[in-house]
Every structure is written in C-alpha cells, then in structure tokens.
Amino acid sequence: MVEHIERQTKQKDAIRAALADCEEFISAQDLHRRLEDEGLKIGLATVYRQLNALADAGAADTIRLDGQQLFRLCGDDGHHHHLVCRRCGKTVEIDPPSEAWLRKVADGHGFTVESHTLEVFGLCSDCQKEQKAQKAQKAVSE
C-alpha cells in the first residue's frame, strides 16, 4: 500500500495562515487580495486549489453566499454549523440540530438522511440596527 504524503509549501502555509487570520468566511478572491497586499506572490488559481484542498480534507468549512463560495477555518474539530450575517459576514458557530429532528423532517417528506449541512443566513444585531437607522433616515427624508 502506498501512503500519500502531502507536501508542505510556503504558498500552502501562507494561504492557511491568512485563512486562519479571518474570523469570518472569505472568498478566494478576497483572500488572494489580502495575500497580495502583504506582498506575497501567489496565483489566484493556487489560492482556489489550496482552499478546495483544505475543504476536501475537512480542514475548512465552505458556504455559498450570493452565488460565491466562501471559506473559513474553524477552531472546533467537532460537527457544527453557522449563523452567517448576509450583510457583513459575521459568523457564529452553532451546535447542529438533533438527529431526531433531522430524521423526522426527512421522513415527513419521504427522504432518508445520508448527510446534512445547515447554515442559517440573516442579519446580525449590528446590521439590524444599521438597517433600521437607514429606514428611519429614509422615512425622515421623504
């Protein structure tokens, strides 16, 4: 049997370190821009490849928001899900729903559960306040 040994490279280490510095989910393009701003010359294709490899290995979580794939390293190795602010990207890890609830919902629709992902999108409290203030300002100006 041949054991697969993964090569560590400066680029891979730089991408992982930059991703670790992000508290929220980030796109490959934004992460690439951050790396360039730090003076690192890493191609966008390399960033995509490394982020997808991290996700495939289970080392990074991914979500889709506004048609874009976003990535995030999570400190907890356990199974978890996220609340994600669709406006500012603030992310909070949450415990998964109970298996009983998932099976009940699936059974109710004639499905079985093989795997699941759950991300909850909405507005964080800061963005809710900002949105209310903008609506109030707009009402005053009308």
Q: What's the pLDDT score for residue 4? A: 47
pLDDT tens by residue, the chain, 142 residues: 445 445 667 888 999 999 999 888 999 999 999 999 999 999 999 999 999 999 888 888 888 888 889 999 876 556 778 888 888 888 888 887 888 988 999 999 999 988 777 788 899 999 999 999 999 998 888 7
Q: Is 47 exposed, middle or buried, given 0-12, 13-18 or 19+ CB atoms closer than 10 A?
A: buried
Structure tokens of 4? 């697969």
| Interaxial angle between packed helices 10-20 and 28-37, expressed in degrees from 0 to 180 and rounded to the nearest 10 | 110
How many helices and strands, by DSSP H and E, does the chain display? 5, 6
